[in-house]
Amino acid sequence: MAGAGKRVYIKTFGCQMNEHDSEQMLALLTSHGYHGATCPEEADVILVNTCAVREKPEQKAYSIMGRLHQLKRDNPRAIVGITGCVAEQRGEGLWDHMSSLDFVLGPGKIHRLPEVLHAVDTGGDGVCATGFEDGPFVHLPLPRGCRVRASVTIMQGCNNFCSYCIVPAVRGRERSRPSKDVLAEIKSLVEQGTKEILLLGQNVNAYAKHDPAELTFPQLLAKINAIPGIERIRFTTSHPKDLTEETIRSFGHLKRLCEHCHLPFQAGSNAVLERMNRRHTREDYLALVQRLREVVPHLSITADVMVGFPGESEADFSQTMELMQVVEFDALFSFKYSPRAGTRAAQWPDDIAPAAKQRRLESLQVLQREITLKKNRRLAGEIKEVLVEGYSRHVPDQIMGRTRCNRIVNFAGGPDIMGKVVQVRITEGLQNSLRGELC
Ligand code: 5AD
Ligand code: SF4
């Protein structure tokens, strides 16, 4: 086998989609004889799976490339490749950052990784594979071994063109994976012992939107819910404009579907939402939240939000803070806007001063910390269903699991309950987790 005895190290930046791609690349290379390495120094092949969605992760990718250039001087036989969204966006331009780079591979070409490595191995210089191929949805072998939670891609790409977002440019147009393949993969994972499935896509609610012969997203959820042995189903990410009434109702009647919806709102002001090309208003968003809570009152709602978008006034920002107070999110992922070359918003002046962006981000995070803590504290005394994932990374001698609403719970317990669903009495709500005791 091409990779027999060789070791591969993958450094991943960015989102769950990227983590999933890294898992698939590792599984693909393992099927060609490669083994995982624990650090770049001991690897024969080093992959940096990059993220271009904001400036910060992109800069981190360049800084690691600097270190790898040094590493290649000490070990010229090591092969270094850049994959992911920065690979797609910058392509051959990446050799300006790292002249000793061996290859660049975009997210639409990861199935060609073994071929590309072979080309590099046999003397090919500077291979650059980017772009998206027409035709069937490309899916790769399953990683081996049982995992309590596993992600399954149901769609790739995005058609929404939010004006700040680089994703449609680097991940291509929406492509939905055939439901029979999705269901077969989930059945196989559940047979191997997986309890929780996370359905992945940039905009999962638009699943097979233009294919009348395919299941709709809520129909797909219902089929997954009926797979024997499955404990939990989650999905991410939802776009407010595509979250249908039928999907909202699924939270009420599908027993396996967890009571958690990640629903980015990005901004609280209609003027900003309009310039962001979000195609929903603040009122649309609040109506969805109300409907979700009518169906499941304790549903956990999390979101993404941005501060400092071009032209965002203090009054616009206050509307974001106000929306947060009305909704009381269970958790919030908040970012400072950074222009991404090639997007519509990058043509407009990035006119909010860095200090103002920072101040807005901090006020928003202070408010959210208060809300999160208040909501976590309120859970003390309740009994929650917890799926046990493993030992706690932060609290010694404790095990860790998650509630259906996706809150982390630490509690005392033995190895016999690993991977199982147990009942836990919550004893204390903290800022980032809960404490509990096994019932
Ligand atoms: N600047 C800052 N944040 C961004 N996001 C996407 N593009 C940008 C950008 N140019 C945020 C959005 C999105 C999350 C994944 O990243 O909030 O939902
Ligand atoms: Fe980007 Fe908007 Fe698509 Fe999300 S929905 S990936 S923010 S373009």
In tens, the pLDDT along 193-215 reads 999 999 999 999 999 998 999 99
pLDDT at 263 over 70: yes
Label residue 147 by pLDDT band (50, 70, 90): confident
Q: Which helix (H) or strand (E) holds 336?
A: strand 331-336
pLDDT at 126 over 90: no
CA of residue 339 to ligand 2 center, whole Å? 14
Percent of the chain with pLDDT strictly greater than 70:
97
Q: Which helix (H) or strand (E) holds 115?
A: helix 113-121
Mean pLDDT over 358-377 rounds to 98
Q: What pLDDT sits at residue 248?
A: 98
Tell me the domains of the chain and their CATH numbers.
Answer: 7-129 (3.40.50.12160), 144-258 (3.30.750.210), 383-438 (2.40.50.140)
C-beta of 34 in contact with ligand 1 (< 6 A): no
C-alpha span between 17 and 204 (Å, rounded)? 12
Q: What pLDDT sits at residue 359?
A: 98
C-beta of 52 in contact with ligand 1 (< 6 A): no
List residues near ligand 2 (CB under 6 A): 158, 160-162, 165, 167-168, 202-203, 239
Q: What pLDDT sits at residue 415?
A: 87
Q: What pLDDT sits at residue 197?
A: 97
C-alpha span between 424 and 148 (Å, rounded)? 18
Ligand 1 pocket test: pick from 58, 273, 306 the residue with the most ligand atoms within 8 Å of its Cβ: 306
User: What average pLDDT is seen over the chain?
Assistant: 94
Residue with the smallest CA separation from ligand 2 atom 4 is 202
Residue 53 Ramachandran class (φ > 0 left, ψ -120 to 50 alpha, else beta): alpha
- Minimum-distance ligand 2 atom for the alpha carbon of 202: 6
C-alpha span between 154 and 139 (Å, rounded)? 10
- Minimum-distance ligand 2 atom for the alpha carbon of 171: 6
Mean pLDDT over 247-253 rounds to 98
User: φ and ψ at 12, to 5 degrees?
Assistant: -115, 130
pLDDT tens track for 8-51: 999 999 888 999 999 999 999 999 999 999 999 999 999 999 99
Collapse the DSSP code of 403 into the 3-class scheme (helix H, G, I; strand E, B; otherwise coil) and give the result: strand
C-beta of 53 in contact with ligand 1 (< 6 A): yes
Mean pLDDT over 270-299 rounds to 98
Mean pLDDT over 86-102 rounds to 94
Ligand 2 pocket test: pick from 17, 167, 305 the residue with the most ligand atoms within 8 Å of its Cβ: 167
Mean pLDDT over 353-358 rounds to 98
Q: What pLDDT sits at residue 145?
A: 63
Q: What pLDDT sits at residue 4?
A: 75
pLDDT at 144 over 70: no
pLDDT at 121 over 90: no
Closest ligand by atom to 14 CA: 1
Q: What pLDDT sits at residue 143?
A: 64
- Give the pair of three-digit tokens for residue 53: 């969605």
Ligand 2 pocket test: pick from 165, 175, 200 the residue with the most ligand atoms within 8 Å of its Cβ: 165
Q: What pLDDT sits at residue 138?
A: 73
pLDDT at 124 over 80: no
Mean pLDDT over 307-336 rounds to 98
Q: What pLDDT sits at residue 406?
A: 97
pLDDT at 87 over 70: yes
